[in-house]
Amino acid sequence: MGKSGSQNLANKRLWISIYFVMVLAALWFVPARCLQCRIQRCNAEYVASTSPSGGLQDEPLASVGYCTALRAYSLCTRRTARGCRGDLVFHSAVFRIKELFSQHNCSSEGPTSPTRAAGTPSPAAASLCDYESWALASGPGSTGSQVSYAHCGLFGDPHLRTFRDEFQTCKVEGAWPLIDNRYLSVQVTNVPVVLGSSATATSKITVIFKAFRGCTEQKVYQATTEDLPSAFLDGTRSGGDGASLWITERGGVADGEGRQVKIRARYVGTSIIVRQVGRYLTFAIRMPEAVLGSAEQGGGLQLCLTGCPQGELIGGAHPALPQAPPPRQAFTAERAAARCRETLKVEDVYFQSCVFDLLTTGDPQFSLAAFGALEDLKALPPSRLEQEEGPLETGTSQISNAAAPRGTGMKPHLLLLLLTLLLLLL
């Protein structure tokens, strides 16, 4: 009896041990059986988030959104790694993700795209409509960095400040392209100001904002000497959802004279000011330098990028000066300088442009063209001036000294022009 009881106890202990081993084995292998390889789902989410319908466009504007989608892809593969240990598709995807991080200069640290319901826009797509936000957040060591901007202005009869800070006076009669890239194009039409003079002034400005998926449809703005509208040609005052592209109207540059319209294209980090000064128009634009790179690769004539052609320059190697002075001279050099000093306190390139315009046209309203251009430079400054001079202030020598184009000082060709005009008028 004792022996039989001991054997039964031993058998019970054995079965209990076997039972616990089986339970532990079941608990150990349950996760492996429940986890499935979801690499196909990861692949599908990545393709959906990087397709055109997902809101992403060509580089460079889509770089941040693409890196966000790539990080989400990588996170998805890590979460399904235990269930995909022997899956060749999984290992191929992991290898490809490493290559894509390197090719697109994406950081593995940063935000990822959450899974979204079908038909709803992704956060990455929404961020594409705010150029400054994603540009400041992109790239390694981006903390504290700033977007670099360039400025171009056209005013007077006419004077051109290019994106490269070159200052020129040109004829450019007729229609001429200022800017033409994948995001927008700008064309101006210039007409003669005075009979017998080669000087012209801008009578028409056309700005075309090209369609950008998820941010704006194509919009066209057109201003003429008869009409400076505060809306696009289709009657609307915004594009997309209203936060990507919009128009605002403001008052004149001085004493209530003239009007100005400001257009803000947030999705491409661009601001434009169009002014009406007397019978003519002025134009100013501020664009990110990164956006200008694509325009340079496209080639073609763009006055804001390349400047005026040699044969159109006034005061260059072969100045195209008027054959005879205008039939009625309204200003002497002294009167023109005195008039320009009323609005321009410092005798810089904008002051010289003002004097030149008054001597050439005899139109006193042209003194406001240079003043408006200087105001636009303050409102839409290139990054170089902000970095070298700090915040620009109107009416101080600081902005006037900063306004001098790089490496040109007071631009001697304008002084030669003034002297030649004086000799012709004597």
Neighbours of 413 (CB within 10 A): 19
Return the pLDDT at 121.
Answer: 41
Give bridge partners of residue 249 from the DSSP assignment. 261
Return the pLDDT at 334.
Answer: 87
pTM: 0.64
As a whole number of angstroms, the distance between CA 416 and CA 144 comes to 45
Q: Which residues of the chain have pLDDT under 50?
A: 20-21, 23-34, 53-55, 57-62, 114-126, 139-144, 253-256, 316-328, 391-402, 406-416, 418-426
Number of H helices, E strands in the chain: 14, 12
As a whole number of angstroms, the distance between CA 397 and CA 406 comes to 16
How confident is the model over 326-382, as pLDDT tens digits? 444 567 888 888 888 888 878 888 999 888 888 888 878 777 899 999 999 999 999
Bridge-based pairing of strands 270-277 and 259-265 is antiparallel
Neighbours of 398 (CB within 10 A): 16
* Among the listed residues 177, 169, 168, the one whose alpha carbon sits nearest the alpha carbon of residue 299: 177
Residues in CB range of 50: below 8 A, 6 or more apart:
56, 66, 69
Which pairs with CB-CB distance under 8 Å and at least 24 residues apart come from 234-241? Answer: 239/209, 239/215, 240/129, 240/214, 240/215, 240/216, 240/267, 241/129
As a whole number of angstroms, the distance between CA 184 and CA 417 comes to 34
Return the pLDDT at 362.
Answer: 81
How deeply is 347 buried, as exposed, middle or buried, from its count of CB atoms within 10 A (0-12, 13-18, 19+)? middle
